[in-house]
Structure 1
Amino acid sequence: MTELIRLITLTGGLLAIMPLLLVSTLAVAIERLYFLKKMQREGSDIHNSLRQVPYQNIAALQTIANEFSDTLQGHLIATAIASRGEDADDTEMHIEEEIMAAMPKINRLLWVLDTSVTIAPLLGLFGTIIGMIQAFNVLSANGGPSKVTGGIADALVSTGAGLLIAIIAVYFVNYFNNLTRRIVHQLELIKLILINRMHGNGISGNAAQRPVASRVGAGG
C-alpha cells in the first residue's frame, strides 16, 4: 500500500484514476455484452419464426408478437400489424421509425469505451511526464543518478496502466461496433420479412419454374 501511494504521488495523483477508468470500462463492457448478445439471440429466434409464417397470415404474426412482446423485434411485429391496412411503403416507414427510435438504446454507453481508448493513454503519458519532472528535480537537488532512473521507471507505470486500459477498451469497441452492425442488419431483415409477409403473395412453384422452361425452349 505504501508503494502504491508513493507511485500515485509520483504521478501527480493520475495513477489513482486508472483503476476507476478500468472498472468503468469493464462494467460497461459486461453490461453491453449481456444486453446486445441477448438482443441478437432474440432477433435470431424471431427471424427463424417469421420465416415459417405463410404470406398474409396475420394471426401467425400476432402469435409471434405476443410471444416476444417484451423485445424490440416483437414490438416491430406489433407495429407492422397495426399498420397492415396501409400500403407496403407506409408500413416500411412505420417500422423504420421504430428501428431509429431504438438506436440510442442499442448504442447506449458505448461512448464510455471510446473515451477510455482515447483518454487512458493520454492520462498515463501525462502521469509519466509529471513523474519524470519530479525525478529530475531529485537529480538537481541531490545529485543522485540512481534515484533519477528509479523515478523514471516508476513513472512509466502510469503509461503502462493507460495502455493496458486502452488495449482492453479498443477490443470491446471493435467487438461492439461489429455486433451492433449485425443487430441493425438483423432488424432490417426482419423489417423486410414483415413487409413481404403482410403485403406480398409469395412466389408459386409454377411462376418460379416458368423462366427456366422458357429458356430451355428457346435453347431447343
Structure 2
Amino acid sequence: MAGSFVGAVQFLVKGGPVMVPLLAASLLAVAVMIERAIVLGRASRDSSPLMECVRRCIGQGETTEAVRACEAAGTPVGRVLAAGLQARHLPEERLEKVMEEQAMAELPDLNRRLSVLDTVVTVAPLLGLLGTVTGMIRSFGIMAQSGIDRPHGITGGVAEALIATAFGLAVAITTLVVYNWLSEKVRDVTAQMEIRATQLVNLLAAVEVAPVEPGAPAPRVGERAGR
C-alpha cells in the first residue's frame, strides 16, 4: 500500500509543475461528480408512484393530502405538482404558467456546478499540452547545454511531457463521460416535470364538476358529463 502511494507520488512529480493544477482540477471534478450524482440521482427518481398518489387523492377529493404528498417527495417534480395543486382554482392557462414558473425555478439547482465539469473538460487537456511544451523545452535546453552527454536529463524532459499530456487527457475524458451522464439526468428531470405538469392539468380538468341534469349522477373521474 505504502509502495503504491510512493509510486503514485513519484509519477506525479515526474510530470512536472503543471501536475499541481491538473491534480487540483481532477480532485475538484471528482468532488462535483459525487455531489451532483447524489443530488440528481434523487431528483430523477421515477415520479410514477407520486403521480398515482396524486391521482388517487384528487379522485377521493383529498387535494390537501395530495399537496402534502408532493411536498414530502422533496423532488423537483413534487414541487411542480404541489405548485399546480395549490393553484388549481386558477384558469387552465394561468395554472400552466404557475407550474412552468416553478419548473424554471428548479433548473438552476439542477444545473448547479455542471459548468465546473465543463471547464475541467476544456482546461485539463490544455494544461497537459502546457506540460508537454515545458517538458520539451527542458529537454532541448539540456541538449543545448551538454549535447547528448546527459541522456537521463533529456529523457526526463520527454517523460515530463508525456506524463502531463496523458494525465490531462485522462482527467478530461473521465470528466466528459460523467458530465454527459449528469446532463442526461437533468434532461430526464426536465422531461418528467413537463409530463407530470401536463398530466396534472388534464387530471384537474377531468374532475371539475360539470353541469348535469337534475337527478343524474355526477360524472366520475375521467368521465364526461352527459354520458
Q: Secondary structure at the match of 2:89?
A: coil
Partner in structure 1 of residue 14 of structure 2 = 7
Per-residue CA distance 1:122-142 (angstroms, 9 max, x = gap) = 101111101110111000011
Pick the aligned partner of 1:165 from 171, 185, 188.
171
Partner in structure 2 of residue 216 of structure 1 = none
The residue type paired with residue 113 of structure 1 is: L
The residue type paired with residue 169 of structure 1 is: T
The residue type paired with residue 192 of structure 1 is: T
Q: Is the 8 A contact 1:51 1:193 kept in 2?
A: no
Q: Distance in 2 between matches of 1:159 and 1:44?
A: 46
How many angstroms does 1:146 deviate by?
A: 2.3
Pick the aligned partner of 2:151 from 146, 149, 162.
146
1:1-220 superposed matches below 5 A: 3=10, 6-7=13-14, 11=16, 13-41=17-45, 43-52=47-56, 58-59=61-62, 61-70=63-72, 71=74, 72-144=76-148, 146-147=151-152, 148-201=154-207, 203-204=222-223
Q: Is the 8 A contact 2:124 2:171 kept in 1?
A: yes
Q: Secondary structure at the match of 1:85?
A: coil
Q: Distance in 1 between matches of 2:120 and 2:192?
A: 29
The residue type paired with residue 127 of structure 1 is: G
Per-residue CA distance 1:22-65 (angstroms, 9 max, x = gap) = 1111111111111111011263432343354555x552x43232
Which structure has more RCO (C-alpha within 8 Å, separation ≥ 6)?
A: 1
Measured on the aligned residues, the alpha-carbon RMSD in Å equals: 2.6
Per-residue CA distance 1:134-165 (angstroms, 9 max, x = gap) = 11100001112623234212321001110110
How many angstroms does 1:75 deviate by?
A: 2.4
Q: Is the 8 A contact 2:132 2:164 kept in 1?
A: yes
Q: Distance in 2 between matches of 1:67 and 1:150?
A: 63
Per-residue CA distance 1:157-177 (angstroms, 9 max, x = gap) = 001110110011110111011
Aligned positions, number: 203
How many angstroms does 1:203 deviate by?
A: 4.4
Q: Is the 8 A contact 2:126 2:168 kept in 1?
A: yes
How many angstroms does 1:108 deviate by?
A: 0.4
Q: Which moved more, 1:151-160 or 1:64-73?
A: 64-73
Q: Which runs of 5+ in 2 are unaligned?
A: 1-5, 208-220
The residue type paired with residue 74 of structure 1 is: G
TM-score scaled by length of structure 2 = 0.79
How many angstroms does 1:4 deviate by?
A: 5.4
TM-score scaled by length of structure 1 = 0.81
Cα 1:6/1:90, change in 2 over 3 Å: closer
